[in-house]
Amino acid sequence: MAQPQTQEQQGQNGHSAQGEVLIDVKDLRMYFPVTSGVVFQRKIADIKAVDNVNFFIRSGETLGLVGESGSGKTTVGRCILQLYKPTSGEVIFEGKDLVKMSSKNLRPVRRNMQVIFQDPYGSLNPRLTCGDIIGEPLVVHKLTGNKKEYRDRIAELLTLVGLNPYMADRYPHEFSGGQRQRIGIARALAVNPSFIVCDEPVSALDVSIQAQVINLLEELQERLNLTYLFIAHDLSVVRHISDRVAVMYLGHIVEIADRNELYENPLHPYTKALLSAVPIPDPVVESQREHMIIPGEVPSPMNPPKGCVFNTRCPIAIDDCHVEMPDLREVSPDHWVACLRADGYGPWNPAGLPE
């Protein structure tokens, strides 16, 4: 595994690490070209889905990645897994830069990196049985020596995620949504990974089933010493499962901190507005607290605003905010924010919101 970062490396990535770093993402960019023409295609612009993202994940912890739809969360996860080849930047996993590795050399590394997809209906092949879906990674990576080992391993994985081994011969349409997601989790665990990207794994499930799947993920993490990148837009779920939380807006990470620090003392205006939208199950408190409404619409990632990407919607923006995107800076221990005014403007002022 990678060694703990130096102080210089920690500053560049927006955190002060205390343990071993499993995933280290540096200056990650993912631009998708926009072309015109049918035969002679000509690039006319770039969609900047991810732009200069830096963070790390320590071994055994969960980093929550939150933000509204289109902010680049899923693209970050796919870039880490090399499902998308990043435009530039580094993805250091166990001391190796995955961006520079060829597809052939990536195959043994992929055993240690898996993904749980958002859609439990579309992520399973309807023509394969549950056992074949879970066993496919075993075949690809040649992890079992004979049919008995293969069947025993599938039964073990089904039991691990709370399903009965006799279900191995059933097809995906015979399962409920929660059971299908458990099959997806079993498939990810088949190759004994150390790192899993959880791409909104509970957003398509009922609330009661969400709690069961979240508890299962936590139990598996403790038992198997897993490391998670947990992508979600439900901030209450993220706080429950994450050790640290990073907030994304328009391809940039604007704030990252310990989960309790972030929820109790948000500093970026966008983070404050996101948290104000989380309902509180107390009608008295809910009626008295302040709701922070963000004016305007999210700019296009094909033509992001100059300077801070949030300046077109920020009620406290100053002239300097229109010059360049601020870097993540540490305003309190292990609390990093990309805002020029994060530690000097005081509480949110609704009167400052444009009409």
Between 291 and 12, the more confident residue is 291
Each residue of 252-273: pLDDT tens digit?
Answer: 999 999 999 999 899 999 998 8
Closest listed residue to residue 165, CA positions, set 125, 129, 114: 129
Amino acid letter, 326: P
Residue 283 in this model has a pLDDT that exceeds 80: no
The pLDDT confidence band at residue 296, using thresholds 50, 70 and 90, is confident
The least confident of 175-184, 222-231, 234-243 is 234-243
- Is the model more confident about 236 or about 16? 236
Contacts of 236 (CB under 8 A, 6+ apart): 278
Q: Is the pLDDT of residue 306 over 80?
A: yes
Give dist(CA 89, CA 62) in Å, integer.
Answer: 22
Q: What is the pLDDT of residue 173?
A: 94
pLDDT at residue 35, rounded to an integer: 86
Residue-level pLDDT at 276: 82
At residue 40 the predicted structure's pLDDT band, cuts being 50, 70 and 90, is confident
One-letter identity of residue 130: C
Question: What is the H or E stretch that residue 332 is in?
Answer: strand 329-332
Residue 282 has pLDDT above 70, yes or no: no
C-alpha to C-alpha distance for 324 and 326, rounded to whole angstroms: 6
pLDDT digits (tens, 9 = 90+) for 79-137: 999 999 999 999 999 989 999 998 888 988 989 999 999 888 889 999 999 999 999 99
| Whole-number pLDDT of residue 286 | 63
237: helix, strand or coil: helix
pLDDT digits (tens, 9 = 90+) for 183-233: 999 999 999 999 999 999 988 888 888 999 999 999 999 999 999 999 998
Distances (CA, A) of 198 to 39, 64, 69, 213, 238: 39, 9, 16, 11, 11
User: Does the structure show a pLDDT above 70 at 5?
Assistant: no
Give 245's strand partners. 64, 257
Distance CA 152, CA 66 (A): 38
Report the amino acid identity of residue 48: K
